């Protein structure tokens, strides 16, 4: 889901996807980064850097796990708060 969000934000010009090299740097702190599909690592790393996702307290990401409703809700709230909220016009 984070990958889709990053792709949409990138297409709309609100976010720039990290390079593969930068993605590897960001994912260096993720204990199960080797489980992330290599073609998706720039998107996952961009989602982490932008604050859309944070991973788990133990430093893992669980890329093969399904998201819970609560996790989806948090992602949507972060998306709205960081990228979709506009300031009121004066």
Which residue is associated with the tokens 């080797």? Answer: 34
The verdict on residue 89 lying in a domain is: no
The answer for residues whose C-beta is within 8 angstroms of residue 20's C-beta and 6 or more apart is: 41, 42
Structurally, the chain folds into a number of domains equal to: 1
Token digits of residue 50: 């932008």
The verdict on residue 90 lying in a domain is: no
The verdict on residue 33 lying in a domain is: yes
CA Rg value for the chain: 13
Domain of residue 80 covers: 2-84
| pLDDT, position 35 | 94
The verdict on residue 57 lying in a domain is: yes
pLDDT digits (tens, 9 = 90+) for 8-28: 999 999 999 999 999 999 999
| pLDDT, position 84 | 83
The verdict on residue 62 lying in a domain is: yes
Residue 90 pLDDT > 80, yes or no? no
CA distance 31 to 22: 17
pLDDT digits (tens, 9 = 90+) for 32-68: 999 999 999 999 999 999 999 998 999 999 999 999 9
| pLDDT, position 86 | 67
| pLDDT, position 87 | 61
The verdict on residue 53 lying in a domain is: yes
């Amino acid at each position: 889901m984070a990958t889709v969000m990053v792709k949409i934000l990138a297409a709309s010009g609100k976010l720039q996807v990290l390079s593969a090299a930068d993605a590897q740097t960001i994912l260096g702190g993720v204990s199960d980064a080797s489980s992330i599909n290599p073609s998706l690592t720039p998107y996952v790393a961009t989602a982490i850097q932008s604050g859309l996702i944070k991973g788990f307290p133990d430093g893992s990401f669980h890329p093969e796990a399904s998201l819970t409703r609560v996790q989806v809700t948090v992602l949507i709230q972060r998306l709205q708060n960081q990228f979709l909220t506009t300031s009121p016009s004066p």
